[in-house]
Structures are given as C-alpha cells and as structure tokens.
Amino acid sequence: MNMKKMLSAVAWVGAALLLAAFVANSNGYLSTNHPYYHIMNLLGAAGIAAQAWNRRAYPAAALNIVWAIVALIGLIRILG
C-alpha cells in the first residue's frame, strides 16, 4: 500500500473515531470523563492531522493537532 492510500485510510479511521466519540457522548453512552472518550479523540484527530499535513491542508492540520493536544491533556488529567 502506498503512503497516499495509507494516510487516506488512517484519516477515514480517524474521522470515524471522532464521530463515534461525539455520538456516544451525545447519546449518554460515553462520558467526557472516561478515558476512551479522550483516546478516541486523540487518535482520531491525529489520524486526520497526518493526512491533512501530508496534503498541505495546514488549517485542518493545525485544528486537529490542537484537538489531539486537548484530548491528550484530558487523558492525562483523568489518568493522573
């Protein structure tokens, strides 16, 4: 698999993780205080950021890098 296809797959998985975390939280299945919520956001945003950066879509990359950092801080806060 070439890099372009791999990054595309990673981004799609990332988008699915972000959407799943949002839907699960919105419907009361997953609290924002649960580590899974932050892990899903961290991995999802990182996946999208990787492809966005590779495609030179810097605003989308920056948004998702910040999103991942916020999720990491939340995860550290919960686990720490």
48: closest CA among 75, 21, 28, 79?
21
Range of the domain at 62: 3-79
Collapsing DSSP states into helix, strand and coil, what is residue 71? helix
Long-range pairs for 60-69 at CB < 8 Å and ≥24 separation?
67/41, 68/41, 68/42
pLDDT in tens, 11-24: 999 999 999 999 99
Stretch 40-66: mean pLDDT, rounded?
97
pLDDT on residue 71: 98
Does pLDDT of 1 surpass 90? no
38 band by pLDDT with thresholds 50, 70 and 90: very high
Stretch 34-49: mean pLDDT, rounded?
98
Stretch 34-56: mean pLDDT, rounded?
97
Contact criterion met (CB below 8 Å) for 49 and 61: yes
Report the number of distinct structural domains present in the chain.
Answer: 1
What does DSSP assign to residue 31? -
